[in-house]
Structures are given as structure tokens and as C-alpha cells.
Amino acid sequence: MIDTTLGRIRKAVALIAFGTASLPGAAFAATDNVLLPRNLSPWGMFVNADIVVQAVMVGLAVASLITWTVWLAKTIEISRATSIARRRLAQLESECLLADVGHDSRDGSDAVAQIIQSAAREASLSDGGTDDGFKERIVLRLERVEAAMARRIARGTGVLATIGATAPFVGLFGTVWGIMNAFIGISEAHTTNLAVVAPGIAEALLATALGLVAAIPAVVIYNHLGRSIGAYRALLGDASTQVMLLISREGDRRGFRLSRAAE
């Protein structure tokens, strides 16, 4: 009697196990385990992504590398140029003759040295005159030098604005392409299984993330460099003003000999 009861229990358990295994949910779970990618890390998603999405990711990575390279190079350049400009400006503000300052900066290639040399050149061409026409010519020369030096120091920052403006849209393009591939995979597999949808969606979101990673630092760095360049241009303006003050002061003393700086 006991053996018969145990046999019936074993048969019932076997039937329940067979019925559970034959349910659609169990079949989908087994399919999920087969189709779901084992590696959903960023590198794994990049390797398994479509060639177009891979190209978008590589382009965004290169844009991010360019952003940080420009930041490092321009930070060093602006810092060095600002330091030299402050030193030259302190020399201009000291009690000295402009001819002496021009002689000291004769071999300099920095912006303030170019300002002083331009003033000395105009003084040499004007035979040391100090009339209003001479001062107007000096102002025009100094403005041109300031504009040229400002363009030189800002060279290379425009690419940051371009990256900051376009990188999110490039990442969005990768997102749209990845979602399209996900829907195509659903259509070809004839199933709405998550294992079919998940890889394409993950690749799409990774492209969007890379677009933001490239764009946000580019915008922040561009604004930071813009403020630094603005401060540098203000120093050049102060140097030009100081040159004009020295010219006016020496002219009033009737001891203006700026032409010596051109010797």
C-alpha cells in the first residue's frame, strides 16, 4: 500500500515537472539564457555593435581626445603668455623711458613686445614727432597688433565649440541607428523577446553617453579658455594704454626720443 502511494506521488511529480517545462514562460526563459549576450560591458557592446554605431563611437572618442589635447596645449600657452605680458606691463608701469623698454624688448616675440616695437617703428617713420596725427597712427598700429595677438592666442579653440555643438547630435544618430537595428532584430526573430531587444538598445544608449562625454567637457573647456583669453586681451589693452601714456608723458616733457628704440 505504501509502495503504491509512493509510486503515484512520483508519477504526479514527474507530470508537474514536464508540464512546467512545457510552459511558454519556461521556453522563453530558456531562450533568454541562450540569446542574451554574456558581455554587456562597454567594450563588449562596442565589439558587438553595428559598423555604423562603431564608427560613431570611434569618432566621438577621437573628438574627446582632441578636446583634452586642446585644453592642455592652450592652458600652457595662455599661462605662459599671460606671465610674460604681466612682466612686460610691470616694466612699462615703472619709471622708465619708452626707448629703454623698446630696447629691452627688441628681440621679444610676445604680444607686449610686439606692441612696443610697433610704436617704436611708427616713431622712427614719423621722425620723433608728437602731434595728434602721430598719436592716431600709434593707436591704429596698437589696435592692429592687439587684434593679431588675440587671434593667435585663440587659434585652435574653435574646434571645441564645434565638438560641443555637434557631438550630442552625432551620439543621437548612433542611438537612432542602434534602435533601428533592434527593431530589425525583433522582426527577423519573430519575437519580442528581451534578449533580442536588449543588445541594440544598450548599444544605442552607449552612443548617446559617448556623445555627452565628448560634448560636455568641450563646452566647459571652451568657456574657460574664453575667459582666460579675455583676461589676456585685457592685459594687452593695459599695455597699449601704458605705451600711449609714456608717449604722452615724454612728449609733454619735450624729451621724446622714441626713435632710439628702433636703432
The percent of residues in the chain predicted with pLDDT above 70, rounded, is: 68
Are 120 and 250 found together in one domain? yes
CA 68 remoteness from chain centre: 6
Q: Whose CA is closest to 119, among 107, 131, 135, 97?
A: 135
The residue with greater pLDDT, 32 or 120, is 120
Are 2 and 121 found together in one domain? no
Q: What is the pLDDT of residue 114?
A: 86
Are 84 and 130 found together in one domain? yes
Are 13 and 90 found together in one domain? no
The residue with greater pLDDT, 175 or 200, is 175
DSSP conformation letters of 34-86: HHS-S--SHHHHHHHS-HHHHHHHHHHHHHHHHHHHHHHHHHHHHHHHHHHHH
Are 15 and 118 found together in one domain? no
- 4 confidence band (pLDDT: 50, 70, 90): low
The residue with greater pLDDT, 99 or 244, is 244
Are 204 and 98 found together in one domain? yes
Cα–Cα distance for residue pair 201/48, rounded to 1 Å: 12
Q: Whose CA is closest to 154, among 82, 229, 227?
A: 229
Are 22 and 115 found together in one domain? no
Are 94 and 203 found together in one domain? yes
pLDDT in tens, 65-89: 999 999 999 999 999 999 988 988 8
pLDDT at 245 over 70: yes
SS3 257: coil
User: Which domain does 71 fall in, by range?
Assistant: 40-262
Are 58 and 14 found together in one domain? no
Neighbours of 199 (CB within 10 A): 21
pLDDT in tens, 102-156: 777 777 778 888 888 888 787 777 665 556 677 788 888 888 888 888 899 999 8
Are 1 and 53 found together in one domain? no
Q: What is the pLDDT of residue 44?
A: 66
User: Which H/E stretch holds residue 236?
Assistant: helix 194-252
Nine-digit cell at 230? 579675455
pTM above 0.85, yes or no: no
Are 140 and 205 found together in one domain? yes
Are 246 and 171 found together in one domain? yes
Cα–Cα distance for residue pair 226/219, rounded to 1 Å: 10
Q: How many domains does the chain have?
A: 2
